[in-house]
Structures are given as structure tokens and as C-alpha cells.
Structure 1
């Protein structure tokens, strides 16, 4: 029997505000529904230095396959820096930004 892939939750307290508990609950629920073992949820604020770098380090250390976040707003509006390392899954709207397992084929024009 194989273990479920690992995911990390991620949110910014300053963006979640009063709905932080709800956002954390939604991350846990989506991880479970998609078959991930949620290792933990990382919480940062706007004034946290190098947020994305710290998150990427946490992904590598935990060997996470995905980061689940309430919205792309929590990642400064883009999944691009993280999809080099793992999949990024948003709760609202529910979407997966998948990393490339293989680079896209080069087409000669």
C-alpha cells in the first residue's frame, strides 16, 4: 500500500484576517478530498521576509507534492515561483497549477 502524497497548507494571516480559521478548515478539507496528507499549514504575514523562499524551502524539506492555499492572493497573485517545485492548489476557485513532470515539447517553427 502506498502512502498518500504530502501537501503543505499556506496562508497569510493579513489576507485571511477574521476568516483565518475558515481558510485553514477549507485547506484541510480540500487536502483530504484530493487524497493528500496535510503535513502542516504555514502561516505568514505581509511583513514576513522572503515568504516565497521560505515556503519553497519548507516544500523541499517536507518533500511536499503540493501547496494548498485559499487563493492566489496569498502567493502575491501567482503560482509561478512554486510550480517549479510542486503543484499549487487553490481553494477559491478550486484550481491546480501543475508543475511539469516533463518539459513541454519544443516545436520547431
Structure 2
């Protein structure tokens, strides 16, 4: 069992543009602040075929708890395909899309 939950960073080079290094730094910083062990950052570009499928393969192979990304734009605007597998955390705005919601007591 891992001491801390594992996450990967994810970004698209074509979405980050000249901010790529800053985006990677922000991902590392947020992962650390939230208590995740950031295993790696996956970077795809416009030439990557089927980026969503490839990202899901990485999630499955690495058995991560979360994907941390600069914004939903890097996921094509929606966390839905990824949140079926793990939590999605965005840097800006800082938000967590949980893969399941725990109902409040008494519900």
C-alpha cells in the first residue's frame, strides 16, 4: 500500500503554449500541497493520436488516484471520460471533480 495517493500531471503542449513550464510547475506544486505523490507528468501535443485514450491507458497502467491538469481545456473541456477512472483536479480554477460522491449521513 502506498503512503500517499498517487497522481499524474497531464497537459497538452498546444494548449499550454509558452506557459508549459509554468503549467508543469503549478501541477507539481498543487500535487504536493494536496498530499499526492506526483509520479509523472504526461505531455501530449497536437500530433498525438487519440490523446484521451492514451491518457486513460496511463491511468489504468499506473493505477493513479488523480489526474492534475492546468485546466479543463487540456481535457477537451470536460472531465467526464477521465473522472470515470479517477479524480480530476484542475489548477485554474482550483477544483476537484471526484469520481464518486459520498452521500451525506441520513440520505
TM-score by length of 2: 0.91
> 1:81 aligns to what SS in structure 2?
helix
> What is the Cα deviation at residue 47 of structure 1?
2.5
Q: How do 1:23-102 and structure 2 match up within 5 A?
A: 23-100=23-100
State the Cα RMSD in Å. Answer: 1.7
Count of aligned residue pairs for this structure pair: 103
The structure 1 segments of at least 4 consecutive aligned residues displaced by more than 4 Å after TM superposition are none
SS at match of 1:39: strand
Point out where structure 2 has 5 or more consecutive residues left out of the alignment: 103-107
Q: Structure 1 length normalisation: TM-score?
A: 0.89
Query: Which digits, 9 at most, give the CA deviation of each residue in 1:55-102, with x for residues without a partner?
Result: 011011111000000000000000000011000000000000000167
Flag structure 1 segments of 5+ consecutive residues without an equivalent: 103-109
Query: 2:38 & 2:5 partners in 1: Cα distance?
Result: 9
